[in-house]
Structure 1
Amino acid sequence: MFYYQYYFPQFVPVQYYGQPLYMDRQQPSVQQILQTIRSQHNNLYRELEDAGMNRQITEYVFFFVVNYVVNQANANQNANQIYNQFQRQVPWFNLLFRQHNVSQNVADRVLRRVIQITLDQLKGGGGQPGPGQGWSNWEDLGGVLTSAPTVASWQPNRLDVFARGTDNMLYHKWWDGSRWNDWESLGGVLTSPPAAVSWGPNRIDVFVRSTDNTLYHKWWDGSRWNDWESLGGVLTSGPAVSSRRTNQLDVFVRGTGNRLYMKTWNGSRWLDWEDLGGNLNSEPAAVSWGPNRIDVFARGQNNDLIHKWWNGNRWSDWESLGGTLTSAPAVSSRRANQLDVFARGTGNRLYKRTWNGTRWGNWENLGGTLTSAPAAVSWNPNRIDVFARGQNQSLIHSWLDR
């Protein structure tokens, strides 16, 4: 039996398939990519270490895989194709994981992420924003999504992401402040992307469209997930949700006639559906930055961004904010009277437009390759987290932190 100890007495193999490991065929170098993984994706190291593999061997594993992608793989293939090829050509590599009792599922997930990160780096960050814009490179968080994701945050440095899986059930993945936890199934039968919001510590409310095109609701109360409840309605899109204050929820959907409808939980009961008009060409997006403010966005019939807001007394008319959207929008707010709106645009790239309290800025191209609408949340004035489905149908994540 072949053991990896024979191959790397100091965890550095000399050759792979007759080619030196330190070939410098293209930039960035293997070591530069590894440094990116160490600095921006340290959770990948933690996943293997938590599973039983020590840091030194994890470093070797990542070195070997990154080098393979840089020097052996076809960078025009996707991460799954490269990983499958890697498994065929290096069948002994799984021995490392078995000898350290790391499950194949964990190994597969982590190595696919390493390959995706390497591909993004080789392609110039996958179209990431240029230096000085403050956005991270995209990281691949795995999973197989059949819808756009949604995200909520109930305290600083906490993220809860939801998406529909291959069995049309709701799946949940969360960042607890130090690591990403595995996906968990929350059941249900979804016919749309989910929507999620938090109105207080340890509280999350999730909404979906079900098979009968009605609105369904599930919530985390701090100790358990409650059963699904039906809230009725006739939905022709996925929902959106915002919260103006503790124990208040405003849910928005596209209904019959492509009009915007709202249903509100006032702290004690659900109010009747309210028709807010418009002519929507996508799911809506909603956010609240104060107790008397709601901002709602959607893609209009001209594929532009349209906007409507509640000022505490009345709803505004719809306004067009331009752009060419190829998905529903997403919106987050970092502080009072500031809005960051995201959408997939031409080339499947992520675009952002910001209201700074006085005026709307120009559209910014933030790169990436999205196969769904984005999701966005902010948990402090200097932080935005954006998620989407990537080319491999997995969850991808980028963030602004300054």
Structure 2
Amino acid sequence: MGSWHWNDQESPTATVGVRATMGAVTMKNDAKAEQRPYVFVRGYDSRLHINWWNGKVWDWSDQGTPAGRTIIEKVGAVTVQDGPNEQQRPYAFVITDDSKLHVNWWDGIKWNWSDQGAPSGRHIREGVGVVSVQDSPGAKQRPYVFVITDDFRLWVNWWDGSKWNWSDQGAPPSHTISRPLGVTTMKNDANAFTRPYAFVITEDSKVWVNWWDGSKWNWSDQGAPSGQLVKKGVGVISVQNDPNAQQRPYAFVQGYDSKLYVNWWDGSKWNWSAQGAPSGRLILDSVGVVTMKDDPNAFTRPYVFVIGDDSKLYLNWWDGKAWHWAAQDTPPGRVIERPGEALTMQNDPNATQRPYAFVITDDSDLWVNWWSLT
């Protein structure tokens, strides 16, 4: 029987606490290896740090900053593989104090900082998220980084296999983009290419998605939950009924009533569903969204971590038949002050996935609420 645990990840140093998380990924040295979490944070020194599992213990590593710059905002993190059997390599994208995009990335031997710049004549206002795409299941993965610029339009910084490019995705017709929601990728089947979906919230507090259909980019109006406008994004994932099925996006949002809603694709049409809130509580903020698989051939199940108005962690999760709310509480003797990141772990490719939810407490430490199989 498994159980939930809280673990204090502490902070980068005795004098530098965690100010905000910048993204999280899992790493594998090869296709059969154990996954290892890497959580990127911004310290109170405005530098990038990683809390990572080396296979035996947790470590903190100081990644520094781009030359002459400080880090002010997150975009997200992703892993890149040069082939299905190659080592995964983390890429963490951040916005610096000159409103430009930078990436801290592992080339297989060492860490590097690269200046991605900004779209010509523009400043980067906010990050939407990062995904990696593949032209086929055996192809190299290529990062796509979505951001909002100072003219409230969506841009993507993407790797074509030989160089980085900036592309103007524009904005929904007759609207401006006010807030990010999140990004995911779609595959029509196991052998198909991946297609990016970037969800945003417009000035009228409704959801739109900018998506690639295989030949062109499209904007689609997702609207809002019935009788409710969208306050902010919670996260976006893709689910599968089985490993060979079409992936289906789920976009979770917080309404102005401080409750959780999901905009999801059932395979033929989009739907809005009201997830509510934990009993007697309202939702204050979000931590992250992941999908869970009980084994490699199982369907994926969404897990949504949020912070309640009592500063405790809660989980909205799908068991395969029904949605549930679970109270994850708080680290012993601490209060959750800021949201963090969520990811899933596997001990090996055939093992059950296990959720990890990272938060920042009132002493500026990083904590993780994680599921153990024992």
Return closer, same or farther for 1:340/1:159 CA change in 2, 3 Å cut-off.
farther
In the alignment, the residues of structure 2 paired with residue 398 and residue 271 of structure 1 have an alpha-carbon distance, to the nearest angstrom, of: 28
Partner of 2:141: 247
Shift, 1:214, TM fit: 0.8
Shift, 1:157, TM fit: 4.9
Partner of 1:113: none
SS in 2 for 1:327: strand
Return closer, same or farther for 1:182/1:202 CA change in 2, 3 Å cut-off.
same
2:128 and 2:200 in contact (8 A); partners too: no
**TM-score computed with the length of structure 2 as normaliser:** 0.60
In the alignment, the residues of structure 1 paired with residue 169 and residue 259 of structure 2 have an alpha-carbon distance, to the nearest angstrom, of: 33
1:193 aligns to 2:95 (yes or no): no
1:163 aligns to 2:41 (yes or no): yes
Q: Which is richer in helix?
A: 1
Partner of 2:178: 281
Return closer, same or farther for 1:144/1:194 CA change in 2, 3 Å cut-off.
farther
In the alignment, the residues of structure 2 paired with residue 149 and residue 353 of structure 1 have an alpha-carbon distance, to the nearest angstrom, of: 25
Q: How does 1:9-24 map to 2 (within 5 A)?
A: none
Q: Which is richer in strand?
A: 2
Partner of 1:375: 288
Larger of the two Rg values belongs to structure: 1
Q: How does 1:307-386 map to 2 (within 5 A)?
A: 307-323=209-225, 324-335=229-240, 336-346=246-256, 348=258, 350-361=260-271, 362-365=273-276, 367=278, 372-378=285-291, 380=293, 381-382=299-300, 384=302, 386=304
Q: How does 1:170-189 map to 2 (within 5 A)?
A: 170-174=48-52, 181-188=58-65, 189=70
In the alignment, the residues of structure 2 paired with residue 344 and residue 320 of structure 1 have an alpha-carbon distance, to the nearest angstrom, of: 15
In the alignment, the residues of structure 1 paired with residue 259 and residue 43 of structure 2 have an alpha-carbon distance, to the nearest angstrom, of: 23
Partner of 2:110: 224
2:102 and 2:113 in contact (8 A); partners too: no
SS in 2 for 1:238: strand
Shift, 1:287, TM fit: 1.4
In the alignment, the residues of structure 1 paired with residue 54 and residue 35 of structure 2 have an alpha-carbon distance, to the nearest angstrom, of: 7
Return closer, same or farther for 1:326/1:148 CA change in 2, 3 Å cut-off.
farther
Partner of 1:212: 98
2:288 and 2:340 in contact (8 A); partners too: no
CA root-mean-square deviation:
3.7
Return closer, same or farther for 1:343/1:144 CA change in 2, 3 Å cut-off.
farther
Mind listing any 5+ residue stretches in structure 2 that lack a counterpart? Answer: 29-33, 82-86, 135-139, 188-192, 241-245, 294-298, 312-335, 345-352, 356-374
2:76 and 2:93 in contact (8 A); partners too: yes
Structure possessing the higher relative contact order (Cα contacts under 8 Å, 6 or more residues apart): 2
In the alignment, the residues of structure 1 paired with residue 291 and residue 110 of structure 2 have an alpha-carbon distance, to the nearest angstrom, of: 24
SS in 1 for 2:204: coil
2:21 and 2:39 in contact (8 A); partners too: no
In the alignment, the residues of structure 2 paired with residue 177 and residue 348 of structure 1 have an alpha-carbon distance, to the nearest angstrom, of: 39
Amino-acid identity (%)? 22
**TM-score computed with the length of structure 1 as normaliser:** 0.56
Partner of 1:120: none
SS in 2 for 1:319: strand
Q: How many residues align?
A: 271
Corresponding letter in the other structure for 1:252:
F
Return closer, same or farther for 1:226/1:260 CA change in 2, 3 Å cut-off.
same
Partner of 2:125: 236
Shift, 1:296, TM fit: 0.9
Partner of 1:56: none
1:393 aligns to 2:304 (yes or no): no
Return closer, same or farther for 1:370/1:293 CA change in 2, 3 Å cut-off.
same
1:151 and 1:376 in contact (8 A); partners too: no
2:199 and 2:210 in contact (8 A); partners too: yes
2:75 and 2:147 in contact (8 A); partners too: no
Mind listing any 5+ residue stretches in structure 1 that lack a counterpart? Answer: 1-34, 49-104, 110-142
Q: Deviations over 1:119-148 (max 9, x none)?
A: xxxxxxxxxxxxxxxxxxxxxxxx965446
